[in-house]
A and B are shown apart, each in its own frame.
Chain A
Amino acid sequence: MNAITVENVWKEYGDQIVLENLNLSIAPRAFVALVGPSGCGKTTFLRMLLGQERPTRGRILLDGAPLPPEPGPDRGVVYQRYSVFPHLTVLGNVMIGTELRGARLLGRRFGAARRALADDSRAMLAEVGLAGSEDKYPAQLSGGMQQRLALAQALMMKPRVLLLDEPFGALDPGIRADIHKLMKRLWNEVPMTVVMVTHDLREAFTLATRILAFERLRDRPEERLRYGATLSRDIDVWPPRIAGRTTLYDADIPPGQDDLTAFGQVPGTTRHTGAADHAAHSPLA
């Protein structure tokens, strides 16, 4: 069964059509990178997967069942900003999900339950490389550390789907390479499907199993309102990565140099998206 199925989804804001006629399905454990020009509706799409926005038309299925109409613990999210709570310490940020789920009245754990949770949370923090920063507040962390914290916080809920909206966009290249390694490892170890919006094609090819490109096929000024963006490219990254298994690809090429776009051709097989006629305009062509 597909982890995520998107059927004939349209999204309009008032008169403006943002996304039109999206059809796609995402396999469980896939790592999908979503690319496209600014303003083409990537965040909007992610918000629909999250349940924060509803499609104007069409439907979205999660593990075969209709998507719940509001965000829930089965779908985790990490944004570029505002992902962690500024009023909680690093440890508090990792603990809060479990506390909220377990203590429906006060949202806090006490005594032995709290100590056990704190131990789990410390283990998770160590996992993302934040051991030793437990008592700091997010504002005292660097951007990269904040995003690691956001990942740890989201992963504590063991979400089936992890949604990432340009999570590493604001990080400098060195830190980004580190966090890519972490992201790969987490995806290999945690049984989840990942959808990540990024502006960085290199990042997309470094991490993803599949790359989706959204694009407006008609982008003249007078057409802008009436035509939305749609899926213009759908590429399976090759050689295939399989979650839980380090691929040949990952083993062969040292981290940071696994950028196949540099060779001037797209490594992967392109699926038919229904938009192939327009592919000549694609920046990926």
Chain B
Amino acid sequence: MRLINRHPGRAARLFLGSLPFLILVVAYLVASAARLADNPGDKLLPALSSFAQAIETMALTPDRRTGAYLLWSDTWASLTRLWAGLGIATAITLVMGLAIGVLPVMRALLAPVVAFASMVPPLALLPILFIALGLGETSKIALIVIGVTPFLIRDLSLAAAALPREMIVKAETLSASTWLIALRVVLPQVMPRLLDSLRLQLGPAFLFLIAAEAISADSGLGYRIFLVRRYLSMDIIFPYVAWITLLAVAMDLGLGGLRRLMFPWWGLEGRR
């Protein structure tokens, strides 16, 4: 049988999917063991036991100075910033994206400036944000908002504008006003797309978050990584990176699940 027609079974898929992870872990363990055999004080590739100990210190032991459990307080600080940023970005996107997608007047007014804004490199704005908004939470949240909103708006307005004209006309023959067309015809049909593009923007959002925290913060996942970098604490950095990745993956899966739950019709038409 041709390779293109061979479909792995359930067990085989699970095995194949975990294979690359296994290879990575084994490769790490081999390399780490080799370096530690050379020099027991090596900090670059710590052994699993060091990770366990670092995780224990960060997650399960209260900090001596503040009494907080650092991993959890860092996670909380970062996630509130991230969620605030993404929430504000989503709210702005719903209003502006729908307006641009549905109303020709608003498209004429806003589409050029959004297209322009989406080309500004957000990280280059960071100093400006710090100067204008101070070093507190506002500037970090603002960076995330500025970083992801233009993309979200463009994506949403394109999706709205791509709805077949027939569907809009059909709604008009069902006596819908402009507002009702936006609310009951366009919005529900672009929401799944918005959730998907939010998923795609999780990566950039974390990037902006960590960049902002690295430069100025007193808590947060990015702050911690850049803090312990000074002591070459790979035993803390690696688990933190893995944790951030895990958080991003969980949010990605969560948004995907939310989309399937809220919009069961999406994808029925062989769109994917």
A interface list, Cβ under 8 A from B: 50, 52, 70-73, 75-77, 79, 81-83, 85-88, 96-97, 99-101, 104, 106-108, 137, 139-140, 153-154, 157, 159
B185 close to A85 (CB less than 8 A): yes
**In the complex, chain B residues 102-132 whose Cβ is within 8 Å of any chain A Cβ:** none
Q: Residue of B at shortest CB range from A47?
A: B169
Q: B169's contact among A52, A97, A100, A106, by CB below 8 Å, is which?
A: A52
A153 to B180 Cα, complex, angstroms:
17
Q: With contacts A85-B170, A85-B185 known, what are 12 further pairs, Cβ within 8 A?
A: A52-B165, A71-B169, A77-B173, A79-B166, A82-B164, A85-B189, A87-B265, A107-B176, A107-B180, A108-B184, A140-B268, A157-B174
* Main SS at interface, chain A: loop
Q: Does B42 contact A (CB under 8 A)?
A: no
A82 close to B166 (CB less than 8 A): yes
B175 close to A72 (CB less than 8 A): yes
Select the residue from B174, B189, B264 with max chain A CB neighbours within 10 A: B174
**In the complex, chain B residues 159-196 whose Cβ is within 8 Å of any chain A Cβ:** 164-167, 169-177, 180, 183-185, 188-189
**In the complex, chain B residues 137-175 whose Cβ is within 8 Å of any chain A Cβ:** 164-167, 169-175
- The verdict on A100 contacting B171 (CB below 8 Å), with A107-B183, A139-B268 known, is yes
Select the residue from A70, A79, A82, A106 with max chain B CB neighbours within 10 A: A82
A176 to B228 Cα, complex, angstroms:
73
A83 close to B166 (CB less than 8 A): yes
**8 smallest beta-carbon distances between A and B, as pairs:** A139-B268, A97-B174, A71-B172, A73-B175, A82-B166, A101-B175, A82-B164, A107-B184
Q: Does B15 contact A (CB under 8 A)?
A: no
Residues on A with beta carbons closer than 8 Å to the beta carbon of B170: 77, 79, 82-83, 85
- The verdict on A77 contacting B180 (CB below 8 Å), with A100-B175, A139-B265 known, is no
Question: Whole-angstrom distance from the CB of B149 to the nearest CB of chain A?
Answer: 25
A104 close to B177 (CB less than 8 A): yes
A137 close to B264 (CB less than 8 A): yes
Interface string of B230-243 (1 = CB under 8 A from A): 00000000000000
* Main SS at interface, chain B: helix
Q: Residue of A at shortest CB range from B177?
A: A104
Question: Whole-angstrom distance from the CB of A161 to the nearest CB of chain B?
Answer: 10
A100 close to B268 (CB less than 8 A): no
A86 close to B269 (CB less than 8 A): yes
Residues on A with beta carbons closer than 8 Å to the beta carbon of B171: 85, 100
A104 close to B180 (CB less than 8 A): yes
A97 to B175 Cα, complex, angstroms:
7
Residues on A with beta carbons closer than 8 Å to the beta carbon of B266: 87
A77 to B185 Cα, complex, angstroms:
16
Q: A86's contact among B177, B180, B265, by CB below 8 Å, is which?
A: B265
Residues on A with beta carbons closer than 8 Å to the beta carbon of B83: none
Residues on A with beta carbons closer than 8 Å to the beta carbon of B263: 87
Question: Whole-angstrom distance from the CB of A81 to the nearest CB of chain B?
Answer: 7
A137 to B268 Cα, complex, angstroms:
8
A87 to B185 Cα, complex, angstroms:
8
A-B contact pairs, 17 of them (CB 8 A): A52-B165, A72-B172, A72-B173, A77-B169, A77-B173, A79-B166, A81-B164, A82-B164, A82-B166, A83-B170, A99-B184, A100-B174, A137-B268, A153-B174, A154-B173, A157-B173, A157-B175
Select the residue from A50, A79, A107, A108 with max chain B CB neighbours within 10 A: A107
Residues on A with beta carbons closer than 8 Å to the beta carbon of B268: 86, 137, 139-140
B269 close to A139 (CB less than 8 A): yes
Q: Residue of A at shortest CB range from B176?
A: A100
A252 to B75 Cα, complex, angstroms:
80
Q: B167's contact among A76, A82, A101, A106, by CB below 8 Å, is which?
A: A82
Residues on A with beta carbons closer than 8 Å to the beta carbon of B177: 100, 104
Question: Whole-angstrom distance from the CB of A157 to the nearest CB of chain B?
Answer: 6
Residues on A with beta carbons closer than 8 Å to the beta carbon of B183: 106-107
Residues on A with beta carbons closer than 8 Å to the beta carbon of B172: 70-72
A97 to B181 Cα, complex, angstroms:
11
- The verdict on A85 contacting B167 (CB below 8 Å), with A73-B175, A97-B175 known, is yes
Residues on B with beta carbons closer than 8 Å to the beta carbon of A137: 264-265, 268
A139 to B266 Cα, complex, angstroms:
10
- The verdict on A75 contacting B173 (CB below 8 Å), with A86-B268, A137-B268 known, is yes
A81 close to B269 (CB less than 8 A): no
Q: A87's contact among B164, B173, B174, B189, by CB below 8 Å, is which?
A: B189
Residues on B with beta carbons closer than 8 Å to the beta carbon of A139: 265, 268-269
